[in-house]
Protein backbone atom coordinates (compact mmCIF):
# COMPACT_ATOMS: atom_id res chain seq x y z
CA UNK A 1 0.00 0.00 0.00
CA UNK A 2 1.20 3.50 -0.81
CA UNK A 3 1.45 5.80 2.19
CA UNK A 4 2.20 9.50 2.57
CA UNK A 5 5.82 8.42 3.04
CA UNK A 6 5.83 7.45 -0.60
CA UNK A 7 5.31 11.12 -1.28
CA UNK A 8 8.92 11.64 -0.35
CA UNK A 9 10.50 8.22 -0.33
CA UNK A 10 9.53 6.70 -3.66
CA UNK A 11 9.68 7.84 -7.28
CA UNK A 12 6.60 8.10 -9.48
CA UNK A 13 5.23 5.16 -11.41
CA UNK A 14 6.82 5.12 -14.83
CA UNK A 15 3.52 4.93 -16.67
CA UNK A 16 2.41 8.34 -15.36
CA UNK A 17 5.79 9.82 -14.56
CA UNK A 18 5.14 13.09 -16.38
CA UNK A 19 1.54 13.67 -15.30
CA UNK A 20 2.02 15.86 -12.23
CA UNK A 21 5.20 17.61 -13.47
CA UNK A 22 3.22 18.63 -16.57
CA UNK A 23 0.38 19.93 -14.42
CA UNK A 24 2.88 21.80 -12.25
CA UNK A 25 4.57 23.37 -15.28
CA UNK A 26 1.23 24.57 -16.60
CA UNK A 27 0.32 25.93 -13.15
CA UNK A 28 3.61 27.83 -12.95
CA UNK A 29 3.43 29.36 -16.42
CA UNK A 30 -0.25 30.26 -16.63
CA UNK A 31 -0.37 33.19 -14.11
CA UNK A 32 2.59 35.16 -15.56
CA UNK A 33 1.39 34.59 -19.11
CA UNK A 34 -2.12 35.79 -18.28
CA UNK A 35 -0.69 38.75 -16.35
CA UNK A 36 1.57 39.72 -19.24
CA UNK A 37 -1.41 39.70 -21.57
CA UNK A 38 -3.51 41.78 -19.19
CA UNK A 39 -0.71 44.21 -18.28
CA UNK A 40 -0.02 47.49 -20.04
CA UNK A 41 3.65 48.04 -20.93
CA UNK A 42 4.86 51.38 -22.38
CA UNK A 43 4.17 51.54 -26.12
CA UNK A 44 7.83 52.21 -26.99
CA UNK A 45 9.05 48.75 -25.86
CA UNK A 46 8.62 45.41 -27.55
CA UNK A 47 9.70 41.80 -27.35
CA UNK A 48 10.83 40.30 -24.04
CA UNK A 49 11.04 43.70 -22.37
CA UNK A 50 7.37 44.27 -23.22
CA UNK A 51 6.53 40.91 -21.60
CA UNK A 52 8.47 41.63 -18.40
CA UNK A 53 7.10 45.15 -17.99
CA UNK A 54 3.54 44.00 -18.59
CA UNK A 55 4.02 41.22 -16.04
CA UNK A 56 5.56 43.60 -13.49
CA UNK A 57 2.69 46.08 -13.96
CA UNK A 58 0.22 43.42 -12.79
CA UNK A 59 2.33 41.37 -10.35
CA UNK A 60 3.70 44.38 -8.46
CA UNK A 61 0.29 45.86 -7.68
CA UNK A 62 -0.46 46.22 -3.97
CA UNK A 63 -2.59 43.67 -2.20
CA UNK A 64 -4.12 40.68 -3.95
CA UNK A 65 -3.42 41.03 -7.65
CA UNK A 66 -4.19 38.79 -10.62
CA UNK A 67 -0.96 36.74 -10.42
CA UNK A 68 -1.32 36.17 -6.69
CA UNK A 69 -4.98 35.19 -6.91
CA UNK A 70 -4.22 32.64 -9.65
CA UNK A 71 -1.38 31.05 -7.69
CA UNK A 72 -3.48 30.90 -4.52
CA UNK A 73 -6.39 29.33 -6.42
CA UNK A 74 -4.06 26.73 -7.96
CA UNK A 75 -2.63 25.86 -4.54
CA UNK A 76 -6.06 25.38 -3.01
CA UNK A 77 -7.29 23.32 -5.98
CA UNK A 78 -4.28 20.99 -5.97
CA UNK A 79 -4.54 20.59 -2.20
CA UNK A 80 -8.22 19.63 -2.47
CA UNK A 81 -7.53 17.13 -5.26
CA UNK A 82 -4.76 15.56 -3.19
CA UNK A 83 -7.10 15.21 -0.20
CA UNK A 84 -9.73 13.59 -2.43
CA UNK A 85 -7.12 11.17 -3.80
CA UNK A 86 -6.46 9.79 -0.32
CA UNK A 87 -10.16 8.92 -0.02
CA UNK A 88 -9.80 6.32 -2.80
CA UNK A 89 -8.09 2.96 -2.40
CA UNK A 90 -4.48 2.82 -3.62
CA UNK A 91 -4.21 1.83 -7.26
CA UNK A 92 -7.83 2.74 -7.98
CA UNK A 93 -6.83 5.15 -10.74
CA UNK A 94 -3.37 6.24 -11.95
CA UNK A 95 -4.24 9.93 -11.52
CA UNK A 96 -5.21 9.37 -7.88
CA UNK A 97 -2.06 7.30 -7.38
CA UNK A 98 0.08 10.14 -8.75
CA UNK A 99 -1.68 12.63 -6.46
CA UNK A 100 -1.20 10.36 -3.43
CA UNK A 101 2.50 10.04 -4.18
CA UNK A 102 3.34 13.63 -5.13
CA UNK A 103 0.30 15.86 -4.60
CA UNK A 104 1.11 17.09 -1.07
CA UNK A 105 4.70 17.93 -2.01
CA UNK A 106 3.62 19.87 -5.10
CA UNK A 107 0.91 21.64 -3.11
CA UNK A 108 3.57 22.79 -0.64
CA UNK A 109 5.71 23.98 -3.54
CA UNK A 110 2.82 25.97 -5.02
CA UNK A 111 2.16 27.45 -1.59
CA UNK A 112 5.76 28.66 -1.36
CA UNK A 113 5.46 30.13 -4.86
CA UNK A 114 2.31 31.95 -3.82
CA UNK A 115 3.62 33.00 -0.38
CA UNK A 116 4.91 36.49 -1.36
CA UNK A 117 1.49 37.24 -2.86
CA UNK A 118 -0.31 35.84 0.18
CA UNK A 119 1.70 38.09 2.50
CA UNK A 120 1.18 41.06 0.17
CA UNK A 121 -2.56 40.36 0.24
CA UNK A 122 -2.67 40.18 4.04
CA UNK A 123 -0.56 43.31 4.57
CA UNK A 124 -1.72 45.36 1.56
CA UNK A 125 1.88 45.62 0.35
CA UNK A 126 3.72 44.91 -2.90
CA UNK A 127 6.07 42.05 -3.68
CA UNK A 128 8.34 44.48 -5.55
CA UNK A 129 8.66 47.37 -3.10
CA UNK A 130 9.76 47.70 0.49
CA UNK A 131 7.10 46.52 2.89
CA UNK A 132 5.96 43.42 4.77
CA UNK A 133 6.02 41.13 1.75
CA UNK A 134 9.46 42.45 0.77
CA UNK A 135 10.73 41.76 4.31
CA UNK A 136 9.30 38.25 4.61
CA UNK A 137 10.75 37.32 1.25
CA UNK A 138 14.21 37.75 2.78
CA UNK A 139 13.18 35.58 5.73
CA UNK A 140 12.04 32.80 3.43
CA UNK A 141 15.17 33.14 1.28
CA UNK A 142 17.27 32.46 4.37
CA UNK A 143 15.01 29.50 5.18
CA UNK A 144 15.55 28.11 1.66
CA UNK A 145 19.32 28.43 2.06
CA UNK A 146 19.31 26.75 5.47
CA UNK A 147 17.01 23.98 4.22
CA UNK A 148 19.35 23.27 1.28
CA UNK A 149 22.28 23.21 3.72
CA UNK A 150 20.39 20.78 5.97
CA UNK A 151 19.60 18.55 2.98
CA UNK A 152 23.29 18.42 2.11
CA UNK A 153 24.19 17.52 5.71
CA UNK A 154 21.50 14.86 5.85
CA UNK A 155 23.06 13.17 2.82
CA UNK A 156 26.18 12.24 4.79
CA UNK A 157 24.66 12.02 8.26
CA UNK A 158 21.24 10.50 7.62
CA UNK A 159 21.85 8.38 4.53
CA UNK A 160 25.44 7.18 4.88
CA UNK A 161 25.97 7.51 8.64
CA UNK A 162 28.99 9.86 8.66
CA UNK A 163 28.93 12.66 11.23
CA UNK A 164 30.91 15.77 10.36
CA UNK A 165 31.63 18.87 12.43
CA UNK A 166 33.19 20.70 9.49
CA UNK A 167 30.29 21.20 7.11
CA UNK A 168 30.58 24.97 7.57
CA UNK A 169 33.86 24.88 5.62
CA UNK A 170 31.96 24.03 2.42
CA UNK A 171 29.24 26.58 3.15
CA UNK A 172 31.79 29.31 3.80
CA UNK A 173 33.80 28.29 0.75
CA UNK A 174 30.75 29.10 -1.36
CA UNK A 175 30.28 32.60 0.06
CA UNK A 176 33.98 33.45 0.11
CA UNK A 177 34.77 31.71 -3.17
CA UNK A 178 32.21 33.54 -5.30
CA UNK A 179 32.92 36.84 -3.52
CA UNK A 180 36.71 36.71 -3.83
CA UNK A 181 36.56 35.73 -7.50
CA UNK A 182 34.17 38.58 -8.30
CA UNK A 183 35.79 41.19 -6.05
CA UNK A 184 39.51 40.57 -6.64
CA UNK A 185 39.72 38.79 -9.99
CA UNK A 186 36.64 40.49 -11.53
CA UNK A 187 35.27 37.21 -12.84
CA UNK A 188 31.72 37.25 -14.26
CA UNK A 189 29.05 35.79 -12.04
CA UNK A 190 28.72 32.46 -13.88
CA UNK A 191 32.46 31.81 -13.89
CA UNK A 192 32.75 32.77 -10.21
CA UNK A 193 29.96 30.36 -9.24
CA UNK A 194 31.56 27.55 -11.22
CA UNK A 195 34.97 28.31 -9.69
CA UNK A 196 33.57 28.21 -6.15
CA UNK A 197 31.85 24.88 -6.83
CA UNK A 198 35.09 23.39 -8.19
CA UNK A 199 36.89 24.50 -5.02
CA UNK A 200 34.27 22.69 -2.94
CA UNK A 201 34.75 19.53 -5.00
CA UNK A 202 38.50 19.68 -4.38
CA UNK A 203 37.86 20.21 -0.65
CA UNK A 204 35.50 17.23 -0.57
CA UNK A 205 38.04 14.98 -2.25
CA UNK A 206 40.76 16.15 0.15
CA UNK A 207 38.64 15.53 3.23
CA UNK A 208 37.61 12.12 1.92
CA UNK A 209 41.11 10.94 1.05
CA UNK A 210 42.62 12.11 4.34
CA UNK A 211 39.83 11.70 6.86
CA UNK A 212 37.85 8.65 5.70
CA UNK A 213 40.71 6.42 6.77
CA UNK A 214 39.57 7.09 10.31
CA UNK A 215 36.08 6.56 11.70
CA UNK A 216 33.61 7.82 14.23
CA UNK A 217 34.68 10.50 16.68
CA UNK A 218 38.14 10.84 15.14
CA UNK A 219 36.63 11.70 11.76
CA UNK A 220 34.32 14.26 13.37
CA UNK A 221 37.25 15.89 15.21
CA UNK A 222 39.32 16.03 12.01
CA UNK A 223 36.52 17.78 10.12
CA UNK A 224 36.08 20.22 13.01
CA UNK A 225 39.77 21.15 12.91
CA UNK A 226 39.63 21.39 9.11
CA UNK A 227 36.78 23.91 9.25
CA UNK A 228 38.33 25.89 12.11
CA UNK A 229 41.50 26.41 10.07
CA UNK A 230 39.50 28.28 7.44
CA UNK A 231 37.62 30.21 10.13
CA UNK A 232 40.85 31.38 11.77
CA UNK A 233 42.42 32.31 8.44
CA UNK A 234 39.36 34.28 7.35
CA UNK A 235 39.40 36.52 10.43
CA UNK A 236 43.17 36.84 10.76
CA UNK A 237 44.50 40.38 10.25
CA UNK A 238 47.22 38.98 8.01
CA UNK A 239 44.49 38.32 5.42
CA UNK A 240 42.84 41.73 5.78
CA UNK A 241 43.67 42.81 2.23
CA UNK A 242 42.07 39.66 0.85
CA UNK A 243 39.22 38.62 3.16
CA UNK A 244 38.69 41.83 5.14
CA UNK A 245 39.57 39.91 8.32
CA UNK A 246 36.87 39.95 11.01
CA UNK A 247 34.84 42.62 9.18
CA UNK A 248 34.59 40.61 5.97
CA UNK A 249 34.18 42.26 2.60
CA UNK A 250 31.48 43.20 0.11
CA UNK A 251 31.24 42.73 -3.63
CA UNK A 252 28.98 43.84 -6.46
CA UNK A 253 26.37 41.56 -8.00
CA UNK A 254 24.35 42.02 -11.22
CA UNK A 255 21.09 43.93 -10.83
CA UNK A 256 18.94 40.98 -11.87
CA UNK A 257 20.17 38.98 -8.86
CA UNK A 258 20.51 41.93 -6.48
CA UNK A 259 18.23 41.08 -3.54
CA UNK A 260 17.84 44.78 -2.74
CA UNK A 261 16.52 45.67 -6.19
CA UNK A 262 14.94 42.40 -7.35
CA UNK A 263 14.19 40.45 -4.21
CA UNK A 264 11.34 38.48 -5.74
CA UNK A 265 13.74 37.15 -8.39
CA UNK A 266 16.16 36.04 -5.69
CA UNK A 267 13.25 34.48 -3.76
CA UNK A 268 12.38 32.20 -6.65
CA UNK A 269 16.06 31.48 -7.34
CA UNK A 270 16.51 30.31 -3.74
CA UNK A 271 13.34 28.21 -3.96
CA UNK A 272 14.54 26.67 -7.23
CA UNK A 273 17.87 25.73 -5.64
CA UNK A 274 16.12 24.12 -2.68
CA UNK A 275 13.86 22.09 -5.00
CA UNK A 276 16.85 21.09 -7.15
CA UNK A 277 18.86 19.94 -4.11
CA UNK A 278 15.86 17.99 -2.79
CA UNK A 279 15.22 16.22 -6.10
CA UNK A 280 18.91 15.46 -6.68
CA UNK A 281 19.38 13.85 -3.26
CA UNK A 282 16.12 11.92 -3.59
CA UNK A 283 17.11 10.62 -7.01
CA UNK A 284 20.53 9.48 -5.79
CA UNK A 285 19.24 7.84 -2.62
CA UNK A 286 16.50 6.01 -4.53
CA UNK A 287 19.09 4.66 -6.99
CA UNK A 288 21.23 1.53 -6.56
CA UNK A 289 24.00 3.82 -5.30
CA UNK A 290 21.66 5.03 -2.58
CA UNK A 291 20.88 1.48 -1.49
CA UNK A 292 24.59 0.85 -1.03
CA UNK A 293 24.78 4.04 1.05
CA UNK A 294 22.00 2.68 3.26
CA UNK A 295 23.92 -0.57 3.64
CA UNK A 296 27.06 1.33 4.68
CA UNK A 297 25.08 3.30 7.24
CA UNK A 298 23.48 0.20 8.74
CA UNK A 299 26.54 -2.08 8.71
CA UNK A 300 29.68 -0.98 6.89
CA UNK A 301 31.58 -4.18 7.69
CA UNK A 302 28.87 -6.27 6.06
CA UNK A 303 28.88 -4.01 2.99
CA UNK A 304 32.64 -4.53 2.70
CA UNK A 305 32.15 -8.27 3.06
CA UNK A 306 29.68 -8.18 0.16
CA UNK A 307 32.39 -6.67 -2.02
CA UNK A 308 31.47 -2.97 -2.06
CA UNK A 309 34.21 -0.34 -1.97
CA UNK A 310 32.69 1.69 0.84
CA UNK A 311 35.42 4.34 0.62
CA UNK A 312 34.28 5.29 -2.90
CA UNK A 313 30.62 5.61 -1.89
CA UNK A 314 31.44 7.65 1.20
CA UNK A 315 33.70 9.95 -0.82
CA UNK A 316 30.92 10.41 -3.38
CA UNK A 317 28.48 11.37 -0.61
CA UNK A 318 30.92 13.82 1.00
CA UNK A 319 31.83 15.50 -2.30
CA UNK A 320 28.19 15.82 -3.33
CA UNK A 321 27.11 17.07 0.11
CA UNK A 322 29.98 19.57 0.14
CA UNK A 323 29.04 20.84 -3.32
CA UNK A 324 25.40 21.32 -2.32
CA UNK A 325 26.50 23.13 0.84
CA UNK A 326 28.79 25.30 -1.28
CA UNK A 327 25.84 26.19 -3.52
CA UNK A 328 23.89 27.27 -0.44
CA UNK A 329 26.88 29.35 0.66
CA UNK A 330 27.03 31.00 -2.77
CA UNK A 331 23.41 32.03 -2.40
CA UNK A 332 24.16 33.37 1.08
CA UNK A 333 27.04 35.44 -0.27
CA UNK A 334 24.97 36.79 -3.17
CA UNK A 335 22.07 37.57 -0.82
CA UNK A 336 24.27 39.63 1.50
CA UNK A 337 26.54 40.84 -1.33
CA UNK A 338 29.47 39.97 0.90
CA UNK A 339 31.09 37.40 3.18
CA UNK A 340 32.35 37.43 6.75
CA UNK A 341 33.96 34.81 9.04
CA UNK A 342 30.54 34.01 10.51
CA UNK A 343 29.73 31.83 7.47
CA UNK A 344 32.67 29.60 8.46
CA UNK A 345 31.70 29.34 12.12
CA UNK A 346 30.63 26.07 13.71
CA UNK A 347 27.04 27.33 13.91
CA UNK A 348 26.63 26.49 10.22
CA UNK A 349 27.53 22.91 11.09
CA UNK A 350 25.48 22.58 14.27
CA UNK A 351 22.39 24.30 12.83
CA UNK A 352 21.94 21.82 9.93
CA UNK A 353 22.66 18.98 12.36
CA UNK A 354 19.89 20.18 14.68
CA UNK A 355 17.54 20.76 11.76
CA UNK A 356 18.18 17.24 10.50
CA UNK A 357 17.62 15.68 13.92
CA UNK A 358 14.44 17.68 14.56
CA UNK A 359 12.98 17.04 11.12
CA UNK A 360 14.11 13.43 10.87
CA UNK A 361 17.52 12.09 9.86
CA UNK A 362 17.40 9.71 6.92
CA UNK A 363 14.19 11.20 5.51
CA UNK A 364 13.92 13.47 2.51
CA UNK A 365 11.51 16.08 3.82
CA UNK A 366 12.74 16.04 7.42
CA UNK A 367 15.64 18.50 7.08
CA UNK A 368 13.37 20.92 5.21
CA UNK A 369 10.79 20.75 7.99
CA UNK A 370 13.48 21.26 10.62
CA UNK A 371 15.00 24.24 8.81
CA UNK A 372 11.67 25.99 8.27
CA UNK A 373 10.49 25.26 11.80
CA UNK A 374 13.58 26.61 13.56
CA UNK A 375 14.15 29.62 11.32
CA UNK A 376 10.55 30.80 11.06
CA UNK A 377 9.86 30.27 14.77
CA UNK A 378 13.03 32.20 15.62
CA UNK A 379 11.97 35.03 13.32
CA UNK A 380 8.46 35.11 14.75
CA UNK A 381 9.75 35.25 18.33
CA UNK A 382 12.71 37.55 17.75
CA UNK A 383 10.85 40.79 18.59
CA UNK A 384 8.30 39.26 20.97
CA UNK A 385 8.12 40.78 24.45
CA UNK A 386 5.86 39.19 27.07
CA UNK A 387 4.88 41.29 30.14
CA UNK A 388 4.58 39.19 33.31
CA UNK A 389 3.79 40.82 36.67
CA UNK A 390 5.19 44.12 35.51
CA UNK A 391 8.34 42.53 34.11
CA UNK A 392 8.94 42.43 30.37
CA UNK A 393 10.58 39.27 29.09
CA UNK A 394 12.27 39.62 25.71
CA UNK A 395 11.77 36.27 24.02
CA UNK A 396 14.20 37.09 21.21
CA UNK A 397 17.09 37.52 23.65
CA UNK A 398 16.41 34.05 25.06
CA UNK A 399 16.03 32.28 21.75
CA UNK A 400 18.74 29.71 22.47
CA UNK A 401 16.96 28.69 25.68
CA UNK A 402 13.70 28.30 23.75
CA UNK A 403 15.54 26.32 21.06
CA UNK A 404 16.81 23.96 23.76
CA UNK A 405 13.30 23.45 25.09
CA UNK A 406 11.95 22.84 21.57
CA UNK A 407 14.69 20.30 20.92
CA UNK A 408 13.99 18.42 24.17
CA UNK A 409 10.24 18.33 23.50
CA UNK A 410 10.71 17.09 19.93
CA UNK A 411 13.21 14.43 20.98
CA UNK A 412 10.73 13.13 23.58
CA UNK A 413 7.60 13.37 21.42
CA UNK A 414 9.25 12.51 18.08
CA UNK A 415 12.17 10.17 18.81
CA UNK A 416 13.01 9.72 15.12
CA UNK A 417 12.32 13.33 14.15
CA UNK A 418 9.05 14.88 13.04
CA UNK A 419 8.93 13.30 9.58
CA UNK A 420 10.24 9.91 10.71
CA UNK A 421 7.88 9.61 13.68
CA UNK A 422 4.82 10.75 11.71
CA UNK A 423 5.66 8.21 9.03
CA UNK A 424 5.91 5.47 11.67
CA UNK A 425 2.56 6.48 13.18
CA UNK A 426 0.93 6.45 9.75
CA UNK A 427 2.31 3.00 8.96
CA UNK A 428 0.99 1.62 12.25
CA UNK A 429 -2.43 3.21 11.69
CA UNK A 430 -2.75 1.84 8.16
CA UNK A 431 -1.61 -1.60 9.34
CA UNK A 432 -4.34 -1.67 12.02
CA UNK A 433 -6.92 -0.41 9.52
CA UNK A 434 -5.99 -3.12 7.04
CA UNK A 435 -6.12 -5.74 9.78
CA UNK A 436 -9.67 -4.70 10.68
CA UNK A 437 -10.81 -4.55 7.06
CA UNK A 438 -12.93 -7.58 5.99
CA UNK A 439 -11.11 -9.92 3.60
CA UNK A 440 -12.60 -10.52 0.18
CB 384 within 8 A of CB 378: no
The contacts of residue 389 (CB under 8 Å, 6+ apart) are none
pLDDT number for residue 424: 86
CA 162, CA 152: separation in Å to the nearest integer? Answer: 12
pLDDT number for residue 85: 82
CA 203, CA 226: separation in Å to the nearest integer? Answer: 10
**367-371 LR contacts (CB < 8 Å, sep 24+):** 367/147, 367/150, 367/151, 367/153, 367/154, 367/158, 368/147, 368/150, 368/151, 368/274, 368/278, 369/418, 369/419, 370/150, 370/417, 370/418, 371/143, 371/146, 371/147, 371/149, 371/150
The residue among 330, 332, 323, 326 whose CA lies nearest residue 284 is 323
The residue among 82, 118, 124, 79 whose CA lies nearest residue 100 is 82
pLDDT number for residue 234: 92
Q: Can you give the pTM of this predicted structure?
A: 0.90
User: Helices 417-436 & 399-413, crossing angle to 10 degrees?
Assistant: 30
CA 130 to chain centre: 25
> Which H or E element spans position 387?
strand 385-388
pLDDT number for residue 411: 84
Length of the chain: 440
Q: How far is CA 163 from CA 227, 287, 314, 356, in A?
A: 14, 22, 11, 12
pLDDT number for residue 11: 42
DSSP 8-state symbol, 257: G
Which residues sit opposite 394 in a β-bridge? Answer: 385
CA 367, CA 7: separation in Å to the nearest integer? Answer: 15
Q: Per residue of the chain (440 residues), what is the pLDDT tens digit?
A: 334 344 334 444 444 566 677 778 888 888 888 888 887 777 766 677 777 878 888 888 898 889 999 999 999 998 998 888 877 766 667 777 778 878 889 899 999 999 999 999 999 999 988 889 999 999 999 999 999 999 999 999 999 999 999 999 999 999 999 999 999 999 999 999 999 999 999 999 999 988 778 877 888 899 999 999 999 999 988 888 899 988 999 999 998 899 998 999 999 999 999 999 999 999 999 999 999 999 999 998 899 999 999 999 999 999 999 999 999 999 999 999 999 999 999 999 999 999 999 999 999 999 999 999 999 888 887 777 777 767 777 777 777 787 788 888 888 889 889 998 988 887 787 777 777 765 54
CA 264, CA 269: separation in Å to the nearest integer? Answer: 9
* Residues 410-438 as b or e (16 or more Cβ within 10 Å = b): beeebebbbbbbbbeeeeeeeeeeeeeee
> Which H or E element spans position 136?
helix 132-157
CB 110 within 8 A of CB 27: yes
> 401, exposed or middle or buried, with CB in 10 Å at 0-12, 13-18, 19+?
exposed
CB 118 within 8 A of CB 72: yes
The torsion angle over the Cα atoms of residues 80, 83, 88 and 90, rounded to 10 degrees, is 120
Annotated domain spans of the chain:
1-127, 130-356
Amino acid sequence: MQTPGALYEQPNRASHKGFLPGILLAALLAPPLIAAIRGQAPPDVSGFEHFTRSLAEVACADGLNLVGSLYIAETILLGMLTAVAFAFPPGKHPVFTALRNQGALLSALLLLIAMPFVIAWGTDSSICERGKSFFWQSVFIEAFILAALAISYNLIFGFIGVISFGHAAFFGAGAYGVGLLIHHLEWPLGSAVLGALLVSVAMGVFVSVIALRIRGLYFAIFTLVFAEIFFVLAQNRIMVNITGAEDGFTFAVPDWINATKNRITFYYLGLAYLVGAFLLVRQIVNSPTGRVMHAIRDNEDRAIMLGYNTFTYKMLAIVLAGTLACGAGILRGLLNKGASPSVLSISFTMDPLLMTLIGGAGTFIGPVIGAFLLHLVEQALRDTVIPIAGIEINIGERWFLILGVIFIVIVIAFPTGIAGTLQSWWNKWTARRNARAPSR
